[in-house]
Amino acid sequence: MSLHSAAPHTDTTASQAAVTRTRDWLIASAAAILALIALYAVFLDNGTLISATGDYLHEFAHDGRHLFGAPCH
Amino acid sequence: MHSSPVLPLLGRGLVAGGAAGLAAGLFSLLLAEPLMDRAIRAEEKRSAAEEHAHGAAQAVQHHEELFSRSTQHGGLVVAAVVAGLALGVLFAVAYAAVHRRDPAATPWPRALAFSAAAFLAVSLLPGLRYPANPPGVGDAGTVGDRQALWLAAVAIGVLGMFLVRQVYVRLSTRPEPVRHLAVALTAVVVLAALFLLPDNPDPVPVDATLLWDFRMLSLGSHALLWAVFAAVFGGLGLRAALRTPAAAGRATPVHP
């Protein structure tokens, strides 16, 4: 097998791998942002996320906040 | 051929986080809820006495009663599972980033070490600076300040952990005593930064035994969460590595 026939194939595989890697890191970043929003909702929200209806998230997760040491009223 | 390792790690983080959150949630439902119910009854007694002393107009309106206590018991387990899933995602992303050179290697010892570091960074260190308080402690007027302090403590814990690791990795060629002293010095600086944060401003008018028991159960729930997380995350990683022939040789530490 000559180097000339192998090189383009390797290039394609490498660029495909780069595309996959970029896509996967974008998915991971989106997942991390969602995770931070979820943690905010459970541990920090004081009626901002569902402000029209009251402090529902805070009261529902109330015991969890106390238990895991998050500041609570 | 190297397929990207991030997505399998994310999947493992979600499974391990869900299991860990469920375990911690059920543990605290059984052991911590009786204490929280007692603390709330004591608080109601306190505010009833205050009401008696100062007149009803000045009564402390603490719990709005949006949900019954039994709903809040369920909310504890839901909150623990959601927190476990979210922490699992963040753990997986951090794990993939730190181990990006060889993400499939030695999954079991790495999962244990990384989980222990995560426990220190987000559970133990913030918990030592701002220990958990049972219901009835916490002034609604100071909650914003206390949240900022708590987030600062978590940030110092996480950044401190990365800093300590960086020092340890960068000094790998130096003599061991130099390396260890540098790591210890970094840890002391991180701890000093943590304890230079202002104190929790709220009074804690709670029976000392109840307070101690509650804080022990809080730390216990954190520890259980990370222990279950480590076992599931590491176990799934080990299984995946053993299924891939290329990675199987690296699944357990080998010293050639």
Selected residue of B77, B82, B150 to mutate for chain A interface (largest A Cβ count, 10 A)? B82
Share of chain B above pLDDT 70, in %: 90
Contact flag A73-B143 (C-beta cutoff 8 Å): yes
Average pLDDT over residues B159-188: 96
Q: Is residue A47 part of a domain?
A: yes
In this prediction, residue B119 carries a pLDDT of 98
Q: Is residue A16 part of a domain?
A: yes
| Interface predicted TM-score (ipTM) over 0.85 | yes
3-class DSSP assignment, residue A48: coil
In this prediction, residue B150 carries a pLDDT of 97
Tell me if chain A has a CB within 8 Å of the CB of B44: no
Distance from CA of A63 to the nearest CA of B (A): 5
What confidence tens digit (pLDDT) does each residue in A30-59 have? 999 999 999 999 999 887 776 555 678 888
DSSP string, B84-100: HHHHHHHHHHHHHHHTT
Cα gap A58→A45, rounded to integer Å: 6
What confidence tens digit (pLDDT) does each residue in B138-166 have? 888 899 999 999 999 999 999 999 999 99
Output A5 or B4, whichever has higher pLDDT: B4
In this prediction, residue B55 carries a pLDDT of 62
Output B229 or A21, whichever has higher pLDDT: B229
Q: Minimum mean pLDDT among A25-34, B133-142, B224-233: which range?
A: B133-142
What confidence tens digit (pLDDT) does each residue in B97-110 have? 999 888 889 999 99
In this predicted structure, the answer to whether residue B131 has a pLDDT above a threshold of 60 is yes
Residues of chain A neighbouring B89 (CB-CB closer than 8 A): 31-32, 34-35
Q: Is residue A15 part of a domain?
A: yes
CA nearest A21 in B: which residue?
B4
Amino acid at B126: P
Cα gap B7→B22, rounded to integer Å: 23
In this prediction, residue B236 carries a pLDDT of 97
DSSP string, B117-147: HHIIIIIIHHHHHS----TT---GGGHHHHH
Q: Is residue A48 part of a domain?
A: yes
Tell me if chain A has a CB within 8 Å of the CB of B67: yes
Residues sharing a CB contact under 8 Å with residue B114, sequence separation 6 or more, in sequence order: B91, B94, B95, B98, B230
Domain range for A64 is 3-68
Residues sharing a CB contact under 8 Å with residue B8, sequence separation 6 or more, in sequence order: B240
Q: Is residue A45 part of a domain?
A: yes
Cα gap A66→A70, rounded to integer Å: 6
Q: Is residue A73 part of a domain?
A: no
> Which residue in A35, A60, A69 is closest to B126 by CB distance?
A69
Going by the DSSP 8-state scheme, the letter that residue B62 receives in this structure is -
Contact flag A67-B130 (C-beta cutoff 8 Å): no
Residues of chain A neighbouring B221 (CB-CB closer than 8 A): 67-68
In this prediction, residue A2 carries a pLDDT of 46
In this prediction, residue A46 carries a pLDDT of 84
Q: Copy the structure tokens of residue A18.
A: 């780069």
What confidence tens digit (pLDDT) does each residue in B44-68 have? 888 888 878 876 554 445 555 788 9
Cβ burial of B49 (10 Å; 0-12, 13-18, 19+) is: exposed
Q: How confident is the model at residue B1 (pLDDT cuts 50, 70, 90)?
A: very low
> Which residue in A17, A23, A72 is closest to B138 by CB distance?
A72
Contact flag A59-B66 (C-beta cutoff 8 Å): yes
Q: Is residue A20 part of a domain?
A: yes
Q: How many domains does chain A have?
A: 1
Q: Copy the structure tokens of residue B57.
A: 């107009």
